[in-house]
Chains A and B, each alone.
Chain A
């Protein structure tokens, strides 16, 4: 069912929008794995050709293989037009892969438009350019900016790359196309492997590493499974010395140990536990690409969270600092952007705990203070408070009764959230112990905090 949708989409792109649909473009646009995109293009071409609807479709193919030139094997990867496909295939001694590169209505003179299409789509998706690719690297996690200079010092970290094979069951696509992807991809190996497996079998070449890895895939897994336990100890050693100096010209003590295996879904459970030691700051390596992608997401989220927390903490600290300064300088710092509203919340948060502790001190404190010769009276003063209303994005001025000390040391608490007036009695009551505490603490310091409303001469009287 979903296949039909995709085919219709491709149809629309190619015929109606007259686009050059490359496998990469399709992969990003539809959000599917690259191998799936290639298979979809192949299906589309097959169907269209069968239908014979007369619409001219031009297809370009990617051919990769090796040939023997001047006595040694060279690998070639080429994008060819359909008419040259057979010629290219015959030139190559062994063919590693052939698949559809792009489908378009118009005949292309050269491959520049292909490049442009890919360039545009990659540019718009730069930050998840590996999302749909077949190879995932667990080490490739973007660092938070603060860590970058530190990481410069450390030696190279081990990466691990595991090809997220689109074949046999492992679902590489995260966005919910998993079941159909599995179906598609199980068809796809048949389709494409048919194309080159026959050729590869007939023209087997010992030195060709492609065929080697293909045939090794099955036994390779069991070998791979025994490798990770052995390597985990090496990994541990490596990360014991993780923080080494970076390069000089002469000696670059890099010891990356990278594990790569050809993935099969049965890749052993040993993988995750060995990989848990792998990277210091990164999550464990997973060979299942779904998990790896999810993990990557998680790790990315972790990073995002971390950075978010950092960001949140900072303004809080700033606010706290500013709040103190503000108290010292009182109204002179009214123009500051800091909305007074969040700060009383912060204040209230620490205030309840100290309140019970303070209450015990309350009795002696006021008497002390008053006995200290500084006459402090509490007065209700109508003040106009200005603050920024975040929801509406405007500055609000309100006339609020504030209790404040009539001497210079009056703490101008920024209680003026727009609380309904009934809250006022509650607030002052709560504030009093705080104020007292603050007064006690800042008695001398607050002396210079001139309460302009009272009298500037109060400043001099203090002295």
Chain B
């Protein structure tokens, strides 16, 4: 669609495609945070930063205009690119009659396998959390994948797992505490960061996995790598045992790969959770689908999500439609096979955080189906609560 400057539109019905901006009342502002002289309390972190008085502003390189009309303010986030159909009113606002997104980009040719091949998607291992609840689950996961658990039927099925993808948050949020900064030096002399022990544990787990299956490791929000998107791969010196194996692949976040002819694209979840915070959409799967339709992995970057200041081209724009589009660290497992207008077929998967749900996802590459697989041990209570763990 050709982009037109709406400068020139007066009382006409035109298609316009420009960037959009939302003004949010509750958006955390750094200026407010540091205004200590006003004795303002720092804003508490809210789960959602939406407010009824939020406004939508359409913006291009030259100017901006407020939008109203048949458009849902709470649904959209800053940075969305869309087309609006309407006319400019006398008071300077644009009355929207209809709007649409870029919709699904063209799909890649299908080169998937003809036999059953599986990719195991796991995220949020959360090592170093200090609580050992998920450790048995993690060990069971490794044992299933490496073919130690299960009878022969299960083992030969596990042998069809051609890749394990760890989508972020390998370390727990607890490793991020920086108490040592607040404490006196003499108290913290011999202490080491919690992430050191956690990374050692990660190394051992990865070693067990790598001896048996190729593993792709994506960093996440709490992992020792840079904060801004795109996050760089974890450095191999942190994983001395596992990085000796060629089957270990340390990859970026977001990550795109062709696994057995199937195009995977996904993130560790920061983009989706950021959109979750700034829009009224509650369902991670819905948000995931929305980003696909909007044609951009992370529209809120760099506004509310840290991102490298790309200025020549935006690598997060979706130019082709992947076959599997996933996000990690979701609150629960969801999956959906989306059919596009031009025959695209995308499997959307929200991978739940393993530390909370003990659930991983098995994607069958042959028919793009996905099933959760959950692990459990037994506890002192040992009631039916175990069964509800993964759903």
- A: residues with CB less than 8 A from B are 23-24, 27, 34-35, 60, 62, 64, 66, 69-70, 72-81, 84, 91, 96-99, 108-112, 114-115, 118-119, 122-123, 126, 129-130, 132-137, 139-143, 145, 148, 151-152, 156-157, 159, 161-163, 165-167, 189, 192-193, 196, 209-214, 217, 220, 223, 227, 247-258, 260, 262-263
B157, A213: Cβ atoms under 8 Å? yes
A-B contact pairs, 29 of them (CB 8 A): A24-B148, A60-B378, A64-B144, A66-B371, A69-B391, A74-B372, A75-B362, A76-B376, A78-B376, A79-B376, A111-B379, A114-B136, A114-B377, A115-B136, A126-B208, A129-B146, A129-B208, A129-B211, A134-B159, A140-B246, A145-B244, A161-B159, A163-B159, A193-B151, A251-B256, A255-B258, A255-B261, A256-B214, A262-B159
Judged by a CB distance under 8 angstroms, whether B254 is at the interface is yes
Given A134-B155, A212-B116, A252-B257, A74 contacting B374 (CB threshold 8 A): yes
Choice from B204, B213, B252 contacting A137 with Cβ under 8 Å: B213
Choice from A133, A156, A212, A254 contacting B147 with Cβ under 8 Å: A133
A211 contacts across to B, CB distance below 8 A: 153
Choice from B207, B212, B244, B391 contacting A143 with Cβ under 8 Å: B244
B136, A111: Cβ atoms under 8 Å? yes
In the complex, A27 Cα to B245 Cα: how many Å?
24
In the complex, A11 Cα to B263 Cα: how many Å?
52
Choice from B146, B151, B244 contacting A96 with Cβ under 8 Å: B151
Number of A-B contacts (CB under 8 A): 252
A137, B258: Cβ atoms under 8 Å? no
A189, B152: Cβ atoms under 8 Å? yes
B212, A111: Cβ atoms under 8 Å? no
The residue on B at minimum CB distance from A78 is: B376
Q: Which of B337-391 contact A (CB under 8 A)?
A: 362, 364, 371-380, 382, 386-387, 390-391
A249, B254: Cβ atoms under 8 Å? yes
Q: Which of B213-270 contact A (CB under 8 A)?
A: 213-214, 230, 233, 236, 241, 243-247, 249, 251-252, 254-261
Choice from A96, A140, A189, A250 contacting B157 with Cβ under 8 Å: A96
A247 contacts across to B, CB distance below 8 A: 233, 251-252, 255
B243, A140: Cβ atoms under 8 Å? no
Judged by a CB distance under 8 angstroms, whether B70 is at the interface is no
Given A24-B148, A78-B386, A133-B212, A110 contacting B139 (CB threshold 8 A): no
Choice from A114, A130, A213, A217 contacting B211 with Cβ under 8 Å: A130
A296 to chain B, nearest CB (A): 10
B371 contacts across to A, CB distance below 8 A: 66, 72-75
A91 contacts across to B, CB distance below 8 A: 387
A209 contacts across to B, CB distance below 8 A: 116, 157, 364
